[in-house]
């Protein structure tokens, strides 16, 4: 399931700049970790920020698609 939010207009179309995804995988029920893509503000090559949390079979993902826009 993915939830999109932070609605914006870029002059041509409407879009959502952030998303949260929740998934469940039974075979990964022992997995406990979190990781990020390490995106830095001001780095023009990194356009989005990702954070993933794995907790007892549940996967939570947050993505900011407009991470380095409007700097």
| pLDDT tens readout for residues 2-46 | 999 888 877 787 888 899 999 998 888 888 999 999 888 877 777
Task: Give every CB contact of residue 42 below 8 A, 6+ residues apart in sequence.
Answer: 68, 71
CB 19 within 8 A of CB 63: yes
* Residue-number span of the structural domain to which 52 is assigned: 22-71
With respect to residue 7, please indicate whether it lies within any of the assigned structural domains.
no
With respect to residue 6, please indicate whether it lies within any of the assigned structural domains.
no
With respect to residue 4, please indicate whether it lies within any of the assigned structural domains.
no
Handedness of CA 22, 27, 30, 32 (dihedral sign): negative
With respect to residue 15, please indicate whether it lies within any of the assigned structural domains.
no
**Of 69 and 48, more confident:** 48
| pLDDT tens by residue, 57-67 | 999 999 998 88
Confidence band of 70 (pLDDT split at 50, 70, 90)? low
With respect to residue 17, please indicate whether it lies within any of the assigned structural domains.
no
Give the per-residue pLDDT at 38.
Answer: 84
What SS3 class is residue 14?
strand
β-strands 58-64, 49-55 pairing: antiparallel
Total number of domains in the chain:
1
């Amino acid at each position: 399931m993915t939830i999109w939010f932070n609605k914006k207009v870029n002059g041509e179309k409407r879009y959502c700049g952030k998303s949260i995804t929740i998934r469940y995988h039974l075979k990964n029920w022992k997995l406990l970790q979190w990781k990020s893509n390490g995106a830095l503000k001001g780095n023009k090559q990194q356009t989005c920020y990702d954070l993933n949390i794995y907790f007892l079979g549940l996967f939570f993902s947050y993505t900011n698609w407009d991470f380095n826009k409007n700097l």
